[in-house]
Amino acid sequence: MLEAIAELRSQIEADTAAIASATDAEAFRLKHLVRKGTIAGLFDRLREVPKEQKREVGQALNELRTAAETAFAEAETRFATPESAVPSHPRADVTLPGRTLYHGHEHPLMQAKARMEEIFTRMGFSIASGPDIEDDYHNFEALNFPPDHPARDMQDTFFVESGDRADVLLRTHTSPVQIRVMQSQKPPIRCIMPGRVYRNEAITARAGAEFYQVEGLYIDKGVTMAQLKGTVCEFARAYYGADVNLRFRTSFFPFTEPSAELDITCFLCKGDGCRICKESGWLEILGCGMVHPNVLRNCGIDPEIYSGYAFGMGIERTLMLKIGLNDLRLLYENDIRLLEQF
């Protein structure tokens, strides 16, 4: 029996020396240290050993087992994977497609407003503003609207409840800012007035209940219709491109006399006539005219000394005609497929 133990000891020593990897160490454990292993096998044979030798043999076996366990523990630590090399989370999958990063930017409508401001400030206009909530006087009366003018109708104007006043409303155009500027400044006056306006209208592809306008006003001695025409045509060429075709056409507004409208060639049919331009080949972009003498008088400006022109246009409309957009509502839906084109 002691011989068998000595034999196994040399075997274990040889095996220990041969351990070169974690797999070898595991094989060593399975061969010698498990319940069916070599050492346990010798322990089983302890029964056959005569009584007087049991103590000596048992001791030798215990020593052998301790030596084998120590050898295995030492090998296990030597070949264990260092903890820092074990990934704590799954590795990044480098085959995944990349994620697109979208950068925010100014809304196309605000870009259009900024572009218009740029064109007019370069011509020498400054920028003025006024309140969105107006009264009948500034929105209609001072602008020479007769008391029974249909534009004051409940159909078009949003009235605002304000104590016992019945004349408070959301401005229907930016023209009341003209009145405020003329009341508070002495000529020469040269400014544009961009801002939001409100009309009690059904929301369709061509009209909304809320939209933007840019108004222009120039008051000085000897201002002429020719200067008005030059200014608005120059604006249209700057905004739509130097090759745009323009048509100056007579019109009517209560606050200007004479009045006119400026048309550009239809973006769709290029003048041949189509559904968009109602077969005319032309699309209206702005209203304008010489400031009515009554309006100047209402603001304390003597029409015998001063004259002036005014113009006004919708920002959505001018933008739609520029980019060929056929539905105004698209400008308010914030659909990324539209926005990312600007």
Q: Which of residues 145-184 bind ligand PHE (CB under 6 A)?
A: 173, 175
> In a 3-state reduction of DSSP, which class is residue 177?
helix
Q: Are 54 and 2 in contact (CB under 8 A)?
A: no
Q: Which of 218, 311, 318, 331 binds ligand PHE (CB under 6 A)?
A: 311
Sign of CA dihedral 236, 271, 320, 241: negative
From 34, 35, 43, select the one nearest 5 (Cα to Cα): 43
Strands (E), 41-167: 126-127, 133-135
Q: Quote the least distance from Cβ 259 to ligand PHE, whole Å.
A: 6
Q: Is 308 in the site for ligand PHE (CB under 6 A)?
A: no
Token couple for 156: 């078009």
Phi, psi of 319 (to 5 degrees): -70, -45
Q: Which of 75, 179, 214, 310 binds ligand PHE (CB under 6 A)?
A: 310
Stretch that binds ligand PHE, among 41-49, 98-106, 281-289, 318-326 (CB under 6 A): 281-289
Beta carbon nearer to ligand PHE, 252 or 342: 252
Q: Quote the least distance from Cβ 276 to ligand PHE, whole Å.
A: 20
Q: Quote the least distance from Cβ 286 to ligand PHE, whole Å.
A: 7
Q: Is 60 in the site for ligand PHE (CB under 6 A)?
A: no
Q: Which of 139, 256, 298, 318 binds ligand PHE (CB under 6 A)?
A: 256
Q: Is 287 in the site for ligand PHE (CB under 6 A)?
A: yes
- Interacting residues of 99 by C-beta distance below 8 A, sequence separation 6+: none
Token couple for 209: 């209940």
Angle, CA of 11, 12 and 14, to the nearest 5°: 65
Q: Which of 135, 215, 263, 284 binds ligand PHE (CB under 6 A)?
A: 215
Residues that bind ligand PHE (CB under 6 A): 173, 175, 215, 253, 256, 287-289, 310-312
